[in-house]
Amino acid sequence: MSPGGSISSPILPGIWRVTCGRPEAVSPVATRSYPPAETALAELPQVDTCPVPVSGQATPRGYVVSIPLGEHEQVYGLGLQLQSFAHRNTKKTLRVNADPRLPAGDSHAPVPFYVTTGGYGVLIDTARYATFYCGNDHRRTARAEHAVGGDGLPAAYHAATGESPSDVLVEIPHADGVDVYVFAGPSMRAAIQRSNLFAGGGALPPLWGLGVWYRTHKDFDQDDVWQMAETLRDRRIPCDVLGLEPGWQTHTYSCSYVWSKDFPDPKGMIEKLRAENFRLNLWEHAFVHPTSPLYERLTDHAGDFSVWSGLVPDFVSATAREEFADFHRREHVCLGVSGYKLDECDNSDFTGGWSFPELSTFPSGVDGEQMHCLFGRQYQDAITSAFDGEPTYGLVRSAHALAAPYPYVLYSDLYDHRDFVRGVVNSGFSGLLWTPELRHADSPEDLLRRLQTVVLSPLAHINAWYLRNPPWMQTDPDENNAGRFDPSWPELEARCRRLLEFRMQLLPYLQAAFVGYQRTGAPPFRALVVDWPDDPRTWMIDDQYLVGDALLVAPMVAGQRTREVYLPGGTWFDFWTGTPFGPGRHSIEPDVETIPLFVRAGTAVPLAEPSLHATSEWTIHVRSYGDDAPDTVTVYPERDGSVVETVLGRDDVASWSAVTVGSNGAPAGQPT
């Protein structure tokens, strides 16, 4: 391959752009709305030389980028990959697909960005279904296959096992070129931070967004929703956000965005809910029904194919996004709607026949493939701007590169708990957030294990859209909807309540992690390898993750009695018992109530008194872990929609003295 472009000075601190061939007009970077967070970028470690060379070549099929990969260098990222983790020696074709059941690259949110244990990241700035060959570059001319090593095996064998240098090859269909962005570290974590700051910094949800979410049954009317709100308060189930499913609209497939007769007084309902400290989140998708008032306004700003006879807005067009936002602002947001669940923007066409074809064209000049790549992110862009800077937080089924600043969390119709954990782990590489939401469960154990992962995720979503009663009253959907409950359900409810209360206790800590995401780009939820890339024992761990800088979670799934936990670096403490653990591999047997949760030595964790909804009037308890735990802890109470950085010293916190500071950090006991 010939060099694709010259690498000169960085475009931003530690960020290089290599222009290969003739890049397409529309790309993730070309369509960005948020500017890079330049000040924060300047605060990252200085790196003066581009960490990897980039070359490229036009072919009759499109364009191929080649980037070397070192011996023993592992590759991560490529968006929300639910079935795979470490990508070395695999091929991934990054199609947007709502039904990503193969580890072949299909994803709700494929992101053409990878990061390696070599301490750098690479963004291929394309809105096409690019194919990544992650180190399985077996070009015959590239490395002599006759060159046999001391073990008698050809060099290609070693390349195939990642034991010798290779390349990442990226094939971009249809394009004559592409811009490649290289993000220096020098650490893997710094490279990810740099990419997130390049995107504009991570999303900071409002505090209520970090509380508990409960989505009500699709057939509920206004009174049913209100009744559920009352029930949750009566039963002392923490909840900040109630979500509506399609039934609130007059037409849903495609969408009218107009309140149905089942919701005769949305403004009154929202005010009443807000008085009880509930926010309201609305389900919708982007395909506009002919009966919608939005329809005429978008006729000239839509694709040439319809979906469910609805228009497909050309979200690459600022006009289309503004029309879409304006309608939502005036019809919903002004009533007090807090955010949206943006469904069906992830090309269910592949298996559901439910989207626009890749051969579509749009007035902005993009085709259907490009639009699928950008659709979820641009939909977030349109809907976020309806809030005019007011805090919002929501759910979305698709995203792409540079989506980190959008306050939206990915979800899926898939439901494998193990894959859902992997989603939390993987999303942190690519500027994404993901919720392993709870719907029904196979058993009380399954319910508890899933809820444990939920409360240690970016959005604690109980998505009961097909349950008329909370899942702890009956885990089986048919029985639940028939009103047949196990007599012991209040006991299961109590166990779930404790988990949700634990979520509420964590709010100051979680929020601080998100403040870090916004300010430094460090993902609040991430794989162990991000912080310990030099420890190869972390390289394949896709069933544990970090929350902020202090907590390590090792979720259990139903049926699991014991599991291995790997603790990298130095000493860790069991969060619940305070027992110290040395670094390395441990076998644990947590009971079904217990989330395996470990705290890094040398940290202090601020916990709030649990409440039924988020509040900034916290009573903070601080738990310190290890001799070198700090004497201060920073929390971020909200004032007038902004956070106020507040450093608490030992004397400021009533209960600080209740925990052992400066010792081995055994706390007083498990939180109630």
Q: Which of 309, 577, 619, 632 touches its own copies by CB under 8 A?
A: 309
Q: Which is nearer to its own copies, 351 or 642 (CB)?
A: 351
Draw the binding track, 81-100, toward its own copies (x: CB under 8 A; -: no contact): --------xxx-x---x-x-
Q: Count CA atoms within 13 Å of residue 148 on its CB side.
A: 5
Label residue 416 exposed, middle or buried (CB < 10 Å: 0-12, 13-18, 19+). Answer: middle
Q: Of the listed pieces 34-42, 150-158, 511-519, 585-593, which binds its own copies according to CB under 8 A?
A: 150-158
Q: Which is nearer to its own copies, 140 or 261 (CB)?
A: 140
Q: Report if residue 351 touches its own copies, rule: CB under 8 A.
A: yes
The distance of closest approach from Cβ of residue 63 to its own copies in the complex, given in angstroms and rounded to an integer, is 10
Q: Which is nearer to its own copies, 171 or 531 (CB)?
A: 171
CA proximity to 55, closest of 187, 211, 197, 169? 169
Tokens coding 639: 């004032």
Q: Which is nearer to its own copies, 60 or 582 (CB)?
A: 60
Label residue 68 exposed, middle or buried (CB < 10 Å: 0-12, 13-18, 19+). Answer: middle
- Rounded to whole angstroms, the Cα distance separating 400 from 499 reads 32
The distance of closest approach from Cβ of residue 316 to its own copies in the complex, given in angstroms and rounded to an integer, is 16
The distance of closest approach from Cβ of residue 137 to its own copies in the complex, given in angstroms and rounded to an integer, is 8
The distance of closest approach from Cβ of residue 317 to its own copies in the complex, given in angstroms and rounded to an integer, is 16
CA proximity to 109, closest of 457, 411, 381, 379? 411
| Non-local CB neighbours of 338 within 8 Å, separated by 6+ positions | 208, 241, 279, 280, 281, 392, 393
Element at 14 (helix H, strand E): none
Q: Report if residue 141 touches its own copies, rule: CB under 8 A.
A: yes
Length reported for the chain? 672
Touching its own copies, residues 414-433 (CB under 8 A)? none
List, in sequence order, every residue forming a beta bridge with 55; answer none if it has no partner. 3, 66
Q: Which of 156, 316, 567, 605 touches its own copies by CB under 8 A?
A: 156
Q: Of the listed pieces 14-22, 61-69, 402-410, 573-581, which binds its own copies according to CB under 8 A?
A: 61-69
- Rounded to whole angstroms, the Cα distance separating 16 from 47 reads 11
Reading phi first (left if > 0) and then psi (alpha if -120 to 50, else beta), residue 254 is in beta
Q: Of the listed pieces 70-78, 348-356, 394-402, 568-576, which binds its own copies according to CB under 8 A?
A: 348-356
The distance of closest approach from Cβ of residue 61 to its own copies in the complex, given in angstroms and rounded to an integer, is 6
List, in sequence order, every residue forming a beta bridge with 64; answer none if it has no partner. 57, 171
Q: Which is nearer to its own copies, 303 or 578 (CB)?
A: 303
| Strand-strand pairing, 166-173 and 176-184 | unpaired
Reading phi first (left if > 0) and then psi (alpha if -120 to 50, else beta), residue 48 is in alpha
The distance of closest approach from Cβ of residue 191 to its own copies in the complex, given in angstroms and rounded to an integer, is 24
In single-letter form, the type of residue at position 243 comes to G
Q: Is 392 helix (H, G, I), strand (E, B) or coil?
A: coil
Q: Report if residue 350 touches its own copies, rule: CB under 8 A.
A: yes
Compute φ and ψ for 220, nearest 5 degrees: -65, 140
Q: Which is nearer to its own copies, 64 or 239 (CB)?
A: 64
Q: Which of 3, 68, 186, 290 touches its own copies by CB under 8 A?
A: 290
The distance of closest approach from Cβ of residue 547 to its own copies in the complex, given in angstroms and rounded to an integer, is 31
Q: Which of 22, 101, 236, 330 touches its own copies by CB under 8 A?
A: 101
Q: Which is nearer to its own copies, 101 or 330 (CB)?
A: 101
| Strand-strand pairing, 15-22 and 62-69 | unpaired
Q: Report if residue 73 touches its own copies, rule: CB under 8 A.
A: no
Contact 137, 143 (CB under 8 A): no
Chain centre distance of CA 186 = 24
CA proximity to 321, closest of 290, 364, 357? 364
Q: Report if residue 305 touches its own copies, rule: CB under 8 A.
A: yes
Q: Report if residue 485 touches its own copies, rule: CB under 8 A.
A: no
Q: Which of 8, 39, 46, 59 touches its own copies by CB under 8 A?
A: 59
Q: Which of 61, 236, 267, 639 touches its own copies by CB under 8 A?
A: 61
Q: Which is nearer to its own copies, 319 or 616 (CB)?
A: 319
Q: Report if residue 174 touches its own copies, rule: CB under 8 A.
A: yes
DSSP-derived secondary structure letter, 210:
G
Query: CA dist 627 to 384, 541, 582, Å?
Result: 44, 28, 15
Give how many residues touch its own copies by CB under 8 A.
54
Q: Which of 160, 318, 558, 666 touches its own copies by CB under 8 A?
A: 160
- Rounded to whole angstroms, the Cα distance separating 12 from 36 reads 9
Q: Which is nearer to its own copies, 171 or 179 (CB)?
A: 171
Tokens coding 77: 């990222």
Q: Which is nearer to its own copies, 84 or 319 (CB)?
A: 84
Taken in order 211, 217, 218, 220, the sign of the CA dihedral is negative
Q: Which of 18, 44, 64, 659 touches its own copies by CB under 8 A?
A: 64
Enumerate binding residues for its own copies (CB under 8 A): 59-62, 64, 89-91, 93, 97, 99, 101-104, 106, 131, 133, 136, 138-141, 145-146, 154-157, 160, 169, 171, 173-174, 290, 302-309, 311, 349-351, 353, 356-359, 367, 369
